[in-house]
Homo-oligomer: A and B are copies of this chain.
Amino acid sequence: MSRASMKDHAFKPDMKEGLYRAIHSRRDIRSQFLPDPIPEEVLARLLLAAHHAPSVGYSQPWDFLMIRDLKTRQAVHTAFLKATEDAAQKFPKEKSDQYRTFKLEGIREAPLNICVTYDHSRSGPVVIGRTAVPVMGPYSCVCAVQNLWLAARAEGLGLGWVSIVYNRDLSAALDLPDHIEPIAYLCIGYVSGFPPEPELETAGWLPRVPLTEIVHDGRFGISCAGNWPELHQALLKEQKGIYSFPNKK
């Protein structure tokens, strides 16, 4: 097969750019939610995107719980407050003070919450690809979350993943059946804007990790500079902010 026909499978530049723009401008949204409802046809596209995620052994082990009811969201928010207070006490004093200043969820402000769950019984007791690594089931659900997140960004919708809630509290607030495990509690809605960088980076909590330090050649700790010089140079450029990445912002 010739190089030319191999390249037939690649997208045209504008289509490629659409994907990369979604990836690079996606943010975890907590503070920018608007109350406007989300059109149901848009929600259908989001759920279809999630449902077309990869799943181990084609088990599709996910469910999507659509939560608009304010009483349920209030219960989840109460569970969040408990878990975030526990969390604050785990940081050293200075970090703890800064942690308490962050807004880390938009449970009640977003017009819609979706809980993505994992069904332990879906597709039978033995699932291809889950036999050696059982956590592949939950991992499939995470792939669905990421598809949903990127689709939301393309539709102009913000999404925030609230993970500061104990699973047992979440299961109780949502009356989840015993065989259903919560994977992701998501807040979704239109937004006043998407921050240009992750908010924890802007706040000085943590910096972007340099990619050249975490891409290894064959064995951990071996830089790609030797055997992958062009790759290494491209990653270095990105770190210096001079890489001409399409639509990063």
Chain A interfacial positions (CB closer than 8 Å to B): 1, 3, 6-11, 14-24, 26, 28, 34, 36, 39-41, 43-45, 47-49, 51-54, 56-60, 62-69, 72, 83, 86-87, 90-91, 95, 99, 102, 104, 122-123, 126, 128-133, 135-136, 138-139, 142-143, 145-147, 149-151, 154-157, 161, 163-167, 174-177, 180, 183-184, 190-194, 198, 200-201, 205-206, 208-209, 211, 214-220, 224, 227-231, 234-235, 238, 243, 245
The complex is assembled from copies of this chain, and their number is: 2
Residue pairs across A and B with Cβ atoms less than 8 A apart, 16 shown, are: A1-B34, A9-B193, A11-B156, A18-B18, A23-B150, A39-B230, A48-B243, A48-B245, A53-B146, A58-B201, A63-B214, A65-B216, A66-B215, A66-B216, A129-B161, A132-B166
A193 to B6, CA, bound (A): 8
Tell whether, in the assembled complex, residue A135 and residue B132 are in contact, meaning their CB atoms are under 8 Å apart. Answer: no
State whether A14 and B14 are in contact (beta carbons under 8 Å apart), knowing that A34-B1, A176-B220, A216-B65 are contacts in the complex: yes
Bound state CA distance, A218 and B235, in angstroms?
45
Contact yes or no, B9 A190, CB < 8 A: yes
Q: Give chain B residues whose Cβ lies under 8 Å from the Cβ of A176.
A: 220
When the two chains form their complex, are residues B52 and A217 in contact, meaning their CB atoms are under 8 A apart? no
Return A17 CB to nearest CB of chain B, in Å: 6
A218 to chain B, nearest CB (A): 6
Could you say which residues of chain B place their CB within 8 Å of the CB of A11? 18, 21-22, 154-156
A134 to chain B, nearest CB (A): 10
A25 to chain B, nearest CB (A): 9
Closest CB-CB distance, A102 to chain B, in whole Å? 7
A interface majority secondary structure? mixed
Given A128-B205, A130-B163, 11 extra CB contacts under 8 A: A9-B194, A11-B18, A23-B52, A56-B163, A57-B206, A58-B206, A63-B214, A63-B216, A128-B164, A133-B167, A135-B135
